[in-house]
Amino acid sequence: MSGADGPATPRTPGALDGLLVADFGRVLAGPYATMLLADLGAEVVKIERPDTGDDTRSWGPPWVGEGTDREATYFLSVNRNKKSVALDLTTDAGLDAARDLVTRADVVVENFLPGTMDRLGLGYEQVRELNEDIVYCSVTGFGGQSDLAGYDLLIQAVGGLMSVTGPDPRTPTKVGVAVVDVVTGLHATVGILAALRHRDRTGEGQRVEVALLSSLLSALVNQTSGYLAAGIVPRAMGNRHPSITPYEVFPTADRPLVLAVGNDRQFAALVHVLGLPDLATDERYATNAARVAHRDELAALLERALAARAADDWFEALTAKRVPCGPLNDIADAFALAERLGLDATATIEDPRRDAPILQAANPIRLSATPATYRCAPPRLGEDSAPGPG
């Protein structure tokens, strides 16, 4: 196995060593949070339904393996470093096993519909009676008072993200990954770590609540600020930026190139490389505010100049002058770029249960003393269950 900062072994100490997490999360937001905790050393016990397990075990293609060994790459993406225990929570035996786990745990993570864990006798107040210093994280779609199911596409739609994504206001478009789930998982992780820090100081546990909708509204940053502070309701602008220009995709002689010019120095360097130095002092383009006001005219000038050379040629010439830009990569290209830059973006997880190692995106958090480690591959359903009923 390899760690985010080089080779690592199962004995490498983690920042969260000794922490036990009872993971009742399913699909993406909860499991992403608990995988980050697991990468940093926590012991994560994933509770799954017998027979079917986490919904994402059946979310394919893509798959790896064949026949009964076939696994969905979706499930693999957020469940490494965990144990899988299959429990039927509708039975006394299953609930007894779950109560035993939460009594021993430091952290509980769940993303059932609000009220479900309470009905099972595993809600926050009920668990706190068993384990008074528990850190209990609930992930919901719309908050604890709503029983609406929170799927990422739905939140992207009702939360406004699709209204600012896509080629124009008439074509609302989702982001190409379940970004709301990922952002919510990150917020859950931060909340859990903050609650653990509080517990370290005071001995007190607490409840952590994170909702997909509120996480999205926070993650819309400048777009929500524009609305709340200035009353501006943003609309989709394709690949353009409402406040910066040039900050978009341009065609070149072969493939698209992104320019992400964030200040006047970068703009002056850009137009000098393009052979258009007079634009740097033209009052229509000399400042960012002026460029935004004349973005169409400026885009036409830049597009004509960029058509003269290939994207990689422009990338080399412009980055040499510290102009932020880059060709439009696919995911394979992106990993190749990360490798060239020495980012160690890939984790290789050896697993004797599988014919070949599993390659995954590495944990991006770099810790110099307690790096992330990859101790085991995503588990088979129920492989860590105790023998007997449950």
CA–chain centroid gap for 67, Å, is: 30
- Within 8 A by CB and 6+ apart from 337, the residues are 329
Kindly report, residue by residue over 119-171, the tens digit of the pLDDT: 999 999 999 999 999 999 999 999 878 777 788 999 999 999 999 999 999 99
181 is catalytic: yes
Write the pLDDT tens digit of every residue in 210-225.
999 999 999 999 999 9
What average pLDDT score do residues 65-74 get?
88
For 276, the 3-state DSSP assignment is coil
3-state SS class at 9 = coil
What pLDDT does 295 receive? 96
Q: Is pLDDT of 390 > 50?
A: no
Looking at domain 257-327, its CATH superfamily turns out to be formyl-coa transferase, domain 3 (3.30.1540.10)
What are the sequence ranges of the domains in the chain?
Answer: 2-220+342-361, 257-327
Q: What is the pLDDT of residue 152?
A: 93
Split at pLDDT 50, 70, 90, the class of 387 is low
The predicted pLDDT at position 3 comes to: 44
Q: Encoding tokens for residue 256?
A: 């698209």
Instruction: Give the fold, CATH level 3, of 2-220+342-361.
Output: Rossmann fold (3.40.50)
Q: Specify the pTM.
A: 0.90
Assess whether the region 2-220+342-361 and the region 257-327 belong to the same CATH fold. no
Nearest to 38 by CA among 20, 53, 57: 20
Of the residues 5, 23, 54, 181, only one is catalytic, namely: 181
Res. 286 pLDDT band, cuts 50 70 90: very high
287: Cβ contacts below 8 Å, ≥ 6 apart: 264
**What confidence tier does 354 reach under pLDDT thresholds 50, 70, 90?**
confident
